[in-house]
Structure 1
Amino acid sequence: MQGTISEKTFYQYLKCPNWVYFDAYAQAARPHDVLMVKLQDDGLIEEKERDLLTDRQDLVEVTAEDPDEAFAQTLTFMRQARQTIYHGVLVDKHWVGHPDILEKVEGRSHLGNYYYVAADIKRSREVRDDYKFQGCFYAELLERIQGVKPVQGYIVTPENQSLSYLIEEFEAKYELTLTEIEKIIAGKRPAHFVTSGCKQSPWYKECRHESERCEDLSLLNRVWREEVSKLEEVGIQTIGELALKSIPELEKIAPEVNSSRLEMMRDQAIAIKENRYIIRGNVDLPESNIELYFDIESDP
């Protein structure tokens, strides 16, 4: 649904901020490949998830497909104090959360002498930052719905182990990221910056095309955002402008950037602009009875 923020939006933003923008403002939605979505979600197949929940004594499942209907069903289960809610949906205005599990715990809330915490079932055996963004999002939604924010977020592993993390410790990073996402949803277009993460987006071709059209410096292989910012601050906005600079000029106007990095970026800019190879040094390979041939590519 265009204009909404879900737990997946954080993953999309971290990979490519323009993914969030295109999803919100493109004339037509562009569904992602089903397999790619599952891989990006890092979850388990539904049969395996259900196997992990077979020992739950009071398990209910939200089955409605419409977000508002699913939220109403979730809220009914929460008010009934059901122990475990599978496939629950949490909604507040344009925020929509889809935690795999809502689990009832003891404590005071608007619901009574209990409240709910959220957990996602993941293939990973460690708690990654993108999981924490999702957990913080669920926690804020739960606070708005039940009047109390969970202290911890949870990940359930394929071995049915629960890994916890403190919401408070990650909250500052979450709030900053959420603020930037809200700006994009409100209409602010993110700056062009092509990275390998952009390839995860169904809008990668558009991102790449726009960056090529304006000769964006992010087209340079393995360039850092900080380096691009330093070059832009001294008036070098495009690959063409960088290609025209000598190394002494670059060292003078951008002393904060390492000289060898400046040379590497300048040579790349020339190679891209003139569509030619630049051999920066010879490689002496040892002789061997077996020869291996391999392909070398830049990314992206």
Structure 2
Amino acid sequence: MKEVGGAIRLAATDLSNHLACRHLTSLDLSVARGERTAPDFEAPDLWVVRERGALHEAAYLAFLDKCGLEVLNLANAGDEAQVLGETQRAMKRGVRVIAQGALSHGRWFGRPDVLRRVAKPSQFGNWSYEVYDCKLTRETKAATILQLSSYSELLEKIQGCAPEWMWVIPPGENFDGEAYRRAEYAAYFRCVKDRLARAVENGSRIGTYPEPVAHCDVCRWFRECDRRRRGDDHLSLVAGIRKQQRNQLEEWDTETMAKLAVLPIPLKERPKHGSREGIERVREQARVQVTGRSEKRLVHEVFLPVAEGLGFCRLPEPSADDVFVDLEGDPFVGQFGLQYLFGLAFNNAGDELRYEKRWALNREEEKKGFEWLVDEVMRRREA
């Protein structure tokens, strides 16, 4: 999102951001209009994902080149105007694969990972293009479909025919693509696109709040939003509380954790949203947290009664032969990830806690580490 010629230009990323968090759209819009400066913060692991993504895309392009396809990479082709021009010229020539090209129409702009030529007529000739997006995740998310739909719409405007398919390339030796028929997601795409357009047009006239969402884990605005929630003593700070319960409490003018901590229980009024027991449970949770905050110490209480066959009571009685297994892995290594640590914790003959481990930095070491773990467990079981 950026201001160009007095108008806000939108990109495919803005669609996925809006889907993840409406408040994020408001914040990015204020930056685009020069009303504030973007924070100098990045989630610690985001650069790892970005680097792995770049390596995955490079590997895919190398695979296509090895298959004998002409690959034109425009990653370093110049500024946006130059890349836009180079992309259209390459499409007119019928280049088989165009990487990091640029597409633009109206207020929308996009940089798809890969465009591949297909045998479908367009204004360029007996060929046209479809979008391929390289993703590290094993499961395609809604945000990816929105981005692909945005690129495909831009492609349609440029080449004069609608791409039938959109493709996701997950990690794999043969880079087998996952095909998604564009028409099946068109209505959903239009809905989110129109919602984003209205949010941009309305701007600051519609207030948004930094509700905690999954995107917070990788968002550059996390620190600012977290400070605001804590400053407001927001109900989302209560551990285990649900949005439905927060909505009900706000209807009762109980909009802070401190107010919830002193809410009279048992409840006199039946909640419209959620159960009476659920509201009372989060009330007690808020009381514990507020007590710990005011007394500056960790406070914990057992809310549920100890009952046979429930919770930790389902575990067997402690034994001197108990072994605790520790497994650590990285899902972004290779095609299937890598378990890089196999560990065992146990009490030795002197009743001292011991920890033994095996590191694995490649497939062979991973196999040996797993075999060692199984052998150790079986040996202790048979002893």
2:249 corresponds to 1:231: yes
Listed as ranges, the gaps of 5+ residues in structure 1 are 295-300
RMSD of the TM alignment (CA)?
A: 3.1
How far apart, CA to CA, are the structure 1 residues paired with 2:15 and 2:182?
16
Listed as ranges, the gaps of 5+ residues in structure 2 are 3-7, 294-298, 307-311, 327-383
How far apart, CA to CA, are the structure 2 residues paired with 1:15 and 1:24?
15
How far apart, CA to CA, are the structure 2 residues paired with 1:41 and 1:145?
31
Q: Secondary structure of 1:206's match?
A: helix
1:80 to partner: Cα distance: 2.0
2:59 corresponds to 1:28: no
> What does the per-residue CA deviation read over 1:175-233, in whole Å, with 9 as the maximum and x for residues that have no partner?
33333333443424432312343121111011111112222222233433333333334
Q: Secondary structure of 1:110's match?
A: coil
Counterpart for residue 12 of structure 2: 7
Counterpart for residue 39 of structure 1: 49
Q: Secondary structure of 1:53's match?
A: helix
| Counterpart among 154, 160, 163 of residue 167 in structure 2 | 154
Counterpart for residue 191 of structure 1: 209
2:91 corresponds to 1:78: yes
1:276-291 to structure 2, matched below 5 A, reads 277-279=299-301, 280-281=303-304, 286-289=317-320
1:85 to partner: Cα distance: 0.8
2:283 corresponds to 1:266: yes
* Gap change, CA 1:127 and 1:196, over 3 Å in 2: closer
1:49-88 to structure 2, matched below 5 A, reads 49-54=60-65, 55-62=67-74, 63-88=76-101
CA contact (8 A) 1:195 1:218 kept: no
Q: Give the TM-score normalised by the residue count of structure 2.
A: 0.66
* Gap change, CA 1:143 and 1:238, over 3 Å in 2: farther
1:38 to partner: Cα distance: 5.4
How far apart, CA to CA, are the structure 1 residues paired with 2:186 and 2:245?
28
1:291 to partner: Cα distance: 9.3
Deviates more, 1:11-20 or 1:78-87: 11-20
The amino acid across from 2:146 in the alignment is F
> What does the per-residue CA deviation read over 1:218-262, in whole Å, with 9 as the maximum and x for residues that have no partner?
223343333333333444333233333234437x24143023321
Q: Size of the alignment, in residue pairs?
A: 292
CA contact (8 A) 1:44 1:123 kept: no
Deviates more, 1:156-165 or 1:90-99: 90-99
1:165 to partner: Cα distance: 1.1
Q: Secondary structure of 2:126's match?
A: strand
Q: Secondary structure of 1:194's match?
A: coil
Higher relative contact order (CA 8 A, sep 6+): 1
The amino acid across from 1:98 in the alignment is R
Identical amino acids, percent of aligned pairs? 23
* Gap change, CA 1:162 and 1:177, over 3 Å in 2: same
How far apart, CA to CA, are the structure 1 residues paired with 2:240 and 2:215?
12
How far apart, CA to CA, are the structure 2 residues paired with 1:172 and 1:237?
36
> What does the per-residue CA deviation read over 1:147-169, in whole Å, with 9 as the maximum and x for residues that have no partner?
33222210123331111012232
2:112 corresponds to 1:99: yes
CA contact (8 A) 1:16 1:201 kept: no
2:221 corresponds to 1:203: yes
* Gap change, CA 1:264 and 1:181, over 3 Å in 2: farther
